[in-house]
């Protein structure tokens, strides 16, 4: 946001402003930006664009917008159909031109003086295997060319001279090398080995330190280890600890919002910390697609100590559900230490609720929420602040079905087991001992043989070969699996599969541990 002159605030014409809308809007308003509001998806059957616009204005007011910011420009659009209009009754045949014209008319040119001494603040970091760490930011004043000497000032105020070895900019989506760049340009500078977000780059003869940018602290951590399942190496190319460490070291250089700890007491575990489960799952999903195999633990919230008091992260969760399901959701979130902040039911029968809840309370709830609301609910959340511990929170209520042996699941065995819970594997899926193959309908874990074949006899009887009808099994995404597992379980992540398993694969070892 420090590199832009304005923002487009995209609001759904049916759902109105969401929690993430509040978060990003508050950031941009605090930086003095004047957003252009785009009410999107106006061609949806139940769209109420005028109501969405009114709710957006209320949100601006609630977030303390100035009079200038409250007088925001707006237009209506449909990204799917590819049109934008200034008034709801305008013809829809001009494409996106009305939006582009609005940007040109309303967004001021970048401030800055080309002839003043060079000044730039690092807004993000890139990493290149050939030139190392690169600093990206918008030039506030002056100009820079290849070979110039600049002064790098970190957040502690330490000064060091650097030489610009390469300048790059963006032409559209393409990165292009530049000979010279001036005030207002967003550039990527090479030759900045120690730069980080918030540092200042300036003229050595005119040293000015800009206020440092404060990054949000990580709130959730997760342990990564090598894949130790019997199926290791079947679909991935990178399966060793050295490969995992190399990849995470590269990530640490470029992504400073992630904290990666290699100094764990257990040499086989790497701990990464980020701003929520989604933040961590983005990295893990990227590694999975690159051919890595790994095991993941259940996420843990990061507890802080201040003035002899333990603090934990809290979030604001916004929920939209059909009115018939609201009672169950309220009961469950209250059990998870959530405090209701607001409740409103629309004429269409949709209940919108806002809860303040510990991050611990939301862990593992999203999958239960979808089941509870028959897939009709919407749950979104944003970090609020650290606050005193809310007390104990009960974990997952249901136990799991654990495979007793390795092989392929059979329709016969699945048919016998489906009345005892919800299966996670389909017919002919490969399983191994200790792998979680379903959710038990009761609160205890059970060991099952899902590879069992039907015993055949040489006696033919009418009706003995009945047709096996299986209910559809449940497939987990990475985020759903992270939500689901408990402390004694792991997620096996490979390019081809996401499986859940017990830490100890053999039943005798699990009993011994108990």
Q: What is the pLDDT confidence band of residue 486, given thresholds at 50, 70 and 90?
A: confident
- Asked whether residue 195 carries a pLDDT value surpassing 60, the answer given is yes
Q: Which two tokens stand for residue 176?
A: 């292009």
pLDDT given for residue 252 in this prediction = 83
Region 46-65: what's the mean pLDDT? Answer: 89
pLDDT given for residue 265 in this prediction = 67
| Domain-embedded: residue 179 | yes
Residue with tokens 């961590």: 280
Region 278-283: what's the mean pLDDT? Answer: 86
Q: Which two tokens stand for residue 306?
A: 């201040």
- Asked whether residue 463 carries a pLDDT value surpassing 60, the answer given is no
| Domain-embedded: residue 342 | yes
| Domain-embedded: residue 114 | no
Q: What is the pLDDT confidence band of residue 364, given thresholds at 50, 70 and 90?
A: confident
Average pLDDT for the chain = 87
Final residue in a domain of this structure, among 366, 388, 410 = 388
Residue 265 has a CB neighbour count (10 Å cut-off) of: 5
Q: What is the pLDDT of residues 499-510, one digit of tens each?
A: 999 999 888 888
In whole angstroms, what is the distance from residue 285 CA to residue 299 CA? 15
For every residue of 20-62, which 3-state class applies, written as one string? Answer: HHHHHHHHHHHCCCCCEEEEECCCCCCCCHHHHHHHHHHHHHH
Here the CATH number for the domain that contains residue 321 is 3.30.70.240
pLDDT given for residue 19 in this prediction = 67
Tell which wins on pLDDT, 391 or 163.
Answer: 163
Is pTM beyond 0.75? Reply is no
Here the CATH number for the domain that contains residue 84 is 3.40.50.300
Region 401-421: what's the mean pLDDT? Answer: 90
Here the CATH number for the domain that contains residue 198 is 2.40.30.10
Residue 104 has a CB neighbour count (10 Å cut-off) of: 8
pLDDT given for residue 168 in this prediction = 92
Final residue in a domain of this structure, among 363, 388, 413 = 388
Region 54-80: what's the mean pLDDT? Answer: 91
Q: What is the pLDDT of residues 73-123, one digit of tens each?
A: 999 999 989 999 999 888 888 899 999 999 999 998 888 888 899 999 998
Residues 123 and 181 in one domain: yes
Query: Chain-centre distance of CA 375, in angstroms?
Result: 20
Residue 102 has a CB neighbour count (10 Å cut-off) of: 18
In whole angstroms, what is the distance from residue 285 CA to residue 17 CA? 28
Region 372-379: what's the mean pLDDT? Answer: 83
Of 412, 448, 408, the residue nearest 431 (C-alpha): 408
pLDDT given for residue 461 in this prediction = 58
Residues 133 and 175 in one domain: yes
pLDDT given for residue 458 in this prediction = 66
In whole angstroms, what is the distance from residue 366 CA to residue 244 CA? 29
How large a percentage of the chain has pLDDT more than 90? Answer: 35
| Domain-embedded: residue 351 | yes
| Domain-embedded: residue 92 | yes
Q: What is the pLDDT confidence band of residue 430, given thresholds at 50, 70 and 90?
A: very high
Domain count, the chain: 3
**Residues of the domain holding 360:** 305-388
Phi-psi region of 368 (alpha: psi -120 to 50; beta: other; left: phi over 0): alpha
pLDDT given for residue 163 in this prediction = 92
Residues 93 and 13 in one domain: yes
Q: What is the pLDDT of residues 8-45, one digit of tens each?
A: 999 999 888 876 687 788 888 988 899 999 999 998 88
Region 214-242: what's the mean pLDDT? Answer: 88
């Amino acid at each position: 946001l420090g590199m832009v002159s304005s923002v487009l605030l995209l609001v759904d014409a049916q759902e109105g402003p969401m929690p993430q809308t509040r978060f990003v809007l508050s950031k941009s308003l605090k930086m003095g930006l004047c957003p252009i509001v785009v009410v999107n998806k106006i061609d949806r059957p139940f769209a109420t664009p005028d109501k969405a616009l009114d709710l957006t204005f209320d949100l601006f007011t609630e977030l303390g917008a100035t009079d200038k910011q409250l007088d925001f420009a707006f237009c209506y659009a449909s990204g799917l159909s590819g049109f934008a209009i200034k008034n709801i009754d305008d013809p829809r045949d001009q494409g996106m031109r009305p939006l582009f014209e609005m940007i040109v008319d309303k967004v001021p040119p970048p401030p800055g003086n080309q002839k003043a001494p060079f000044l730039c603040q690092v807004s993000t970091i890139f990493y290149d295997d050939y030139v190392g760490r690169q600093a990206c930011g918008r030039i506030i004043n002056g100009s820079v060319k290849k070979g110039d000497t600049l002064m790098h000032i970190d957040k502690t105020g330490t000064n060091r001279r650097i030489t610009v070895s390469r300048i790059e900019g963006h032409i559209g989506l393409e990165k292009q090398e530049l000979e010279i760049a001036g005030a207002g340009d967003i550039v990527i500078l090479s030759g900045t080995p120690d730069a980080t977000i918030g540092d200042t780059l300036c003229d050595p003869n005119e040293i000015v330190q800009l206020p440092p940018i404060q990054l949000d602290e990580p709130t959730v951590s997760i342990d990564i280890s090598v894949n130790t399942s019997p199926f290791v190496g079947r679909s991935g190319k990178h399966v060793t600890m050295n490969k995992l460490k190399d990849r995470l070291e590269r990530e640490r250089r470029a992504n400073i919002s992630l904290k990666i700890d290699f100094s764990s007491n257990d040499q086989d575990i790497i701990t990464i910390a980020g701003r929520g489960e989604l933040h961590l799952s983005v990295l893990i999903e990227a590694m999975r697609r690159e051919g890595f195999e790994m095991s993941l633990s259940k996420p843990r919230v990061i507890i802080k100590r201040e003035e002899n008091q333990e603090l934990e992260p809290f979030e604001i969760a916004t929920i939209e559900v059909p009115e018939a399901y609201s009672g169950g959701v309220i009961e469950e979130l209250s059990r998870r230490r959530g405090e209701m902040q607001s409740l409103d039911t629309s004429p269409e029968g949709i209940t919108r609720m806002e809860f303040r809840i510990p991050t611990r309370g939301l862990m593992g709830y999203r999958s239960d929420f979808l089941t509870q609301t028959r897939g009709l609910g919407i749950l979104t959340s944003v970090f609020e602040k650290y606050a005193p511990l809310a007390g104990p929170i009960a974990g997952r209520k249901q136990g799991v079905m654990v495979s007793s042996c390795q092989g392929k699941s059979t329709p016969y065995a699945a048919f016998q087991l489906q009345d005892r819970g919800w299966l996670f594997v389909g017919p002919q899926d490969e399983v191994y001992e200790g792998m979680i193959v379903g959710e038990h309908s009761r609160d205890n874990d059970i060991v099952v043989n899902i590879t069992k074949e039907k015993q055949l006899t040489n006696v033919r009887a009418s009706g003995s070969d009945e047709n096996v009808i299986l209910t559809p099994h449940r497939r987990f995404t990475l985020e759903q699996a992270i939500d689901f597992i408990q402390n004694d379980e792991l997620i096996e992540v490979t390019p081809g599969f996401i499986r859940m398993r017990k830490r100890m694969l053999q039943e005798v070892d699990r009993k011994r541990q108990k």
